[in-house]
Each structure stands twice: as structure tokens, then as C-alpha cells.
Amino acid sequence: MFDLYIANKNYSSWSLRPWVLMKALEIPFNEHLMPFEGGFGESYATFTRFSPSGLVPCLVDVENEVAVWDSLAIVEYLAEAHANVWPQEKAARAWARSASAEMHSGFGALRDECSMNCGVRVALNNFSAGLKSNLARLDTLWQEGLERFGGPFLAGEQFTAVDAFYAPVAFRVQTFNLPLSEASLAYVQHLLALPAMDAWYQAALVETWREPMHEQETLKNAALLTDYRAV
């Protein structure tokens, strides 16, 4: 059995990746939600009790006494025992790994200017050159995967790790109403409609924690339109 340690569902994009992958692929795990304690730095002491890096997510293989931290490492660890984590076809698997790694290390402007905050809707005041470039690349990448492998997911008919890596982007598109092509927006809606994604979203809405740093990041270049979260 696995223990998966995550942070607030409303904010934690990194936690969403392994969580939604394991839920969608029906890989059993025990969830341990550890809310951010006033910011990343203040959470460190608590998180180091279960995560060597002091960050989430962290997967603990209880039976083998193995801790795996970082979302990409967790995905690869799961793939050793679950063949459906990555696409079965070699070319699709290579593309999916490349696209996942690109998300893992890139799209800096998208991360910085459109932080994940599931329960709100905002209007951006302006789009930086970096954000425009990131969105253009995102459109190109998604359309390549959808056209090359036939959809409805990025690497073919089945939900795999590459879709999990872009799951937080779907929430960002929804929150910030980001302009993308019709095909990309259809893919976003397909992701948001997944039972696992909806379960995460509904849980995020009922959270009452508010972390000031994340709230400030959301509104640093945007105006709040609607807040659907529980008071």
C-alpha cells in the first residue's frame, strides 16, 4: 500500500499530478493532506517528517519502506509496477515522457503569472510576452499530441502520466480564462470532466484554509471575479 502526502488541493499543483494519476488508474493509496503552514518555508519543518526534501508530494511505499519525493520521480516509481502509467506504444511513450519533462521544468511564466487556485475565477490585467509564448507553446504541444496519437488524451485513447502532468494547467485555464485554440480548450474540458479531476475540484472548494502567499500570487496581475470556495 502507498501513502501519498499532499498539500491543499486548492493550491498544490504538484500534489495533483500523482494524486489524479493514481485515482484515474485506480492505484490504491492512503491520502495524507498536510496544509501549507503560512507558506513554503514555514511548512518545511512539518513536511520533513515524511518528505526528505520538505516538499510535497511525497509517496511512501509502506511495505518496502521507500520514500519517493518529486512528482516526476513518483510517476516513474509507479510505472515500474503499473504498465499503464505511460503509453504502451514506444513512440507515444517517448513523446509523453518528453512532454511531461517539459512541463516539469518549463513554462515558467505560466506558473508564475497563473498560479493554481482552483476555487476562484479572475481576469488577467495583461499578458506578458513570456506568458504569451508559454501559451503558444502549450497550444502547439497539445495539438501535436492530440493529432499525432488520435486523442482524446494527449498520447492516445487512455489517460496516462502526461495528462496528469498537464492536469494543473486545466485548472489554471479555468481560473484565468486563458486563450487557447478550440482543440486545446476541448482537451481542457475533457480533463476537467474526469471523475478524478472533479473529485479533486470538489474537495478544493470545501477547504477553508487560506494561504496568504498563494492568494497574493493569484491576484498580483489579476482582478477577482468570483470565489466559489467555502467561507
Q: What is the pLDDT of residues 188-220, one digit of tens each?
A: 999 999 999 999 999 999 999 998 989 999 999
- What's the pLDDT score for residue 153? 98
Structure confidence at residue 35 as a pLDDT band (50, 70, 90): confident
Inform me whether the pLDDT recorded for 157 exceeds 90. yes
Res 59: pLDDT: 97
**What is the arrangement of strands in the sheet containing 29-33, beginning at the earlier edge strand?**
29-33, 2-6, 58-61, 66-69
What 3-state class would DSSP assign to 113? helix
Distance (Å, rounded) from C-alpha 48 to C-alpha 43? 9
CA atoms within 13 A on the CB side of 57: 28
pTM of the model: 0.95
Whose grid coordinates read 510517476? Answer: 75
Mean pLDDT of 143-165: 98
Give the pLDDT confidence of 95-124 residue by residue, as tens digits: 999 999 999 999 999 999 999 999 999 999
Q: Which of 7, 122, 120, 96 is nearest to 54 (CA)?
A: 7
First to last CA, the chain: 35
Per the prediction, the chain carries an average pLDDT of 95
Residue 41 has pLDDT above 70, yes or no: no
> Per-residue confidence at 38, pLDDT binned at 50, 70, 90?
low
pLDDT of res. 50:
83
Cβ count near 126 (within 10 Å): 8
Per-residue burial over 177-200, b = 16 or more CB atoms within 10 Å of its CB, e = otherwise: ebebeeebbebbebbeebebbeeb
Q: What's the pLDDT band for 143 if we cut at 50, 70, 90?
A: very high
**Dist CA 191 CA 206 (whole Å):** 21
| Of residues 38 and 171, more confidently modeled | 171
Which cell is 216 given?
497574493
